[in-house]
């Protein structure tokens, strides 16, 4: 399957939507089940098989996902990457729990039960891959399972950007087997780098302002990112957040907007195929027209003309 499939519950009746979603989940990853509202479960999924990788991008309301190893009919020699793009989720396996926020990732074994509690408006990138291929790059793979890797880690940021770009490229349906195998190798190399590289303990900045800016960078794709979000994550008052930004000559909302626009400009210049609307939504804008107005105010031109000139 070289072309991405788009599947959604909107095509079935409200009373059948959760059942339909469960059928999609179990067809994609054997042993998977979803608990959610019995009526009106509005969700959608993009699904793509790329060489040895099975990739999905589900968007759903709040739900609980269970993976039962005993119900898996095959492919128990797999591992599954969960990369949080928007929202948050709580993952549990091997009596360990990891809470993922925007940009964070964690790796799980498919041959053991796990559970995921999804927040509302959840957007996650999920990739299932053969354990043996990743084991070649990460000999101590078992020790890496079920542990959060923060989105602030350099390897996590690089992998996140690559996977997002890969989804954009996949829309065009790259069917060349050599291309697919090459992409699989690059993905596994980047994941191995993220798993081996500096993680939460090594990359967490020490100064409060460093932690603040790192958190902003990791959550630019979160449309709910604001002063209160930062204060909750850092366990400080909103006044403290405002004071830290004031010391840098900025306001929280102004700084976040500036970083989103700068990141959008980089993305537009680097990827001619991604739509402007997709760039806006990936960077936390809920309104493409508002994004275009802000972009023009910062760069003096529209996103479309900026891309043409770069």
**Which CATH number do you get for residue 270?**
1.10.10.60
Interval 132-143 mean pLDDT:
86
Question: Which two tokens mark 146?
Answer: 């079920």
More confident residue, 123 or 228: 228
Residues 168 and 246 grouped into a single domain:
no
Interval 48-71 mean pLDDT:
84
Residues 158 and 235 grouped into a single domain:
no
Interval 219-239 mean pLDDT:
90
pLDDT of 17 strictly over 90? yes
Q: Are 116 and 64 in contact (CB under 8 A)?
A: yes
Q: Are 83 and 125 in contact (CB under 8 A)?
A: yes
E-only strand ranges, the chain: 5-8, 32-35, 44-50, 53-60, 63-67, 78-86, 89-93, 96-100, 105-109, 114-118, 122-130
Residues 92 and 212 grouped into a single domain:
no
* Of 273, 215, 4, 257, the residue nearest 125 (C-alpha): 4
pLDDT confidence bin for 2, thresholds 50/70/90: low
Question: Residue 286: exposed, middle, or buried by beta-carbon count in 10 A (0-12, 13-18, 19+)?
Answer: exposed
Question: Which two tokens mark 49?
Answer: 């098989």
| Mean pLDDT, the chain, integer | 84
Cα–Cα distance, 107 to 94 (Å, whole number): 12
pLDDT confidence bin for 291, thresholds 50/70/90: very high
pLDDT, residue 1, reads 46
Last residue of a domain, which of 202, 231, 249? 202
Residue 144: domain span: 5-202
E-only strand ranges, 87-197: 89-93, 96-100, 105-109, 114-118, 122-130
Range scoring the smallest mean pLDDT among 41-55, 104-118, 173-187, 242-256: 173-187
| H/E element, 286 | none
Residues 220 and 167 grouped into a single domain:
no
Residues 112 and 251 grouped into a single domain:
no
Residues 182 and 262 grouped into a single domain:
no
Residues 251 and 106 grouped into a single domain:
no
Question: What's the total number of domains in the chain?
Answer: 2
pLDDT of 13 strictly over 60? yes
pLDDT of 197 strictly over 60? yes
Residues 183 and 99 grouped into a single domain:
yes
Residues 44 and 63 grouped into a single domain:
yes
Q: Give the CATH number of the domain where residue 127 resides.
A: 2.60.120.10
Residues 290 and 215 grouped into a single domain:
yes
Model confidence, pTM: 0.64
pLDDT of 37 strictly over 70? yes
pLDDT confidence bin for 294, thresholds 50/70/90: very high
Residues 132 and 221 grouped into a single domain:
no
pLDDT, residue 280, reads 92
pLDDT of 214 strictly over 80? no
pLDDT of 242 strictly over 50? yes
pLDDT, residue 107, reads 92
CA atoms lying within 13 Å on the CB side of residue 278: 13
pLDDT of 227 strictly over 70? yes
pLDDT, residue 160, reads 86
Sheet holding 122-130, edge to edge: 5-8, 44-50, 53-60, 122-130, 78-86, 105-109
Last residue of a domain, which of 170, 202, 234? 202
Residues 91 and 194 grouped into a single domain:
yes
Maximum average pLDDT range among 18-27, 96-105, 157-166: 18-27
Query: How many percent of the chain have pLDDT more than 70?
Result: 89
Last residue of a domain, which of 175, 202, 229? 202
pLDDT, residue 72, reads 58
């Amino acid at each position: 399957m070289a072309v991405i499939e788009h599947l959604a519950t909107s095509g079935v009746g409200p009373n059948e939507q959760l059942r339909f979603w469960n059928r999609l989940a179990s067809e994609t990853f054997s042993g998977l089940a979803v608990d959610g509202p019995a009526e009106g479960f509005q969700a959608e999924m993009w699904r793509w098989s790329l060489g040895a990788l099975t990739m999905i991008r589900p968007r759903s309301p709040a739900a609980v996902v269970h993976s039962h190893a005993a119900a898996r009919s095959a492919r128990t020699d797999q591992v599954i990457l969960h990369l949080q793009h928007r929202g948050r989720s709580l993952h549990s396996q091997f009596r360990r729990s990891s809470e993922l926020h925007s940009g964070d990732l964690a790796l799980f074994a498919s041959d053991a039960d796990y559970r995921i509690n999804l927040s509302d408006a959840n957007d996650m990138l999920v990739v299932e891959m053969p354990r043996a291929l990743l084991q070649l790059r990460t000999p101590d793979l078992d020790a890496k399972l079920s542990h959060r890797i923060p989105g602030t880690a350099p390897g996590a940021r690089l992998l996140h950007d690559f996977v997002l770009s890969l989804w954009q490229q996949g829309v065009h349906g790259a069917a060349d087997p050599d291309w697919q195998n090459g992409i699989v190798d690059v993905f596994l190399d980047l994941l191995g780098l993220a798993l081996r590289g500096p993680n939460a303990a090594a990359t967490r900045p020490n100064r409060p302002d460093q932690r603040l800016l790192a958190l902003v960078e990791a959550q630019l794709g979160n449309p709910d990112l604001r002063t209160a979000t930062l204060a909750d994550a850092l366990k400080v008052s909103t006044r403290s957040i405002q004071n830290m930004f004031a010391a840098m000559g900025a306001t929280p909302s102004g700084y976040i907007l500036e970083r989103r626009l700068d990141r959008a400009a980089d993305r537009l210049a680097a990827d001619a195929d991604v739509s402007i609307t997709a760039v806006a939504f990936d960077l936390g804008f809920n309104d493409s027209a508002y994004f275009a107005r802000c972009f023009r105010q910062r760069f003096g031109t529209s996103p479309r003309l900026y891309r043409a000139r770069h």
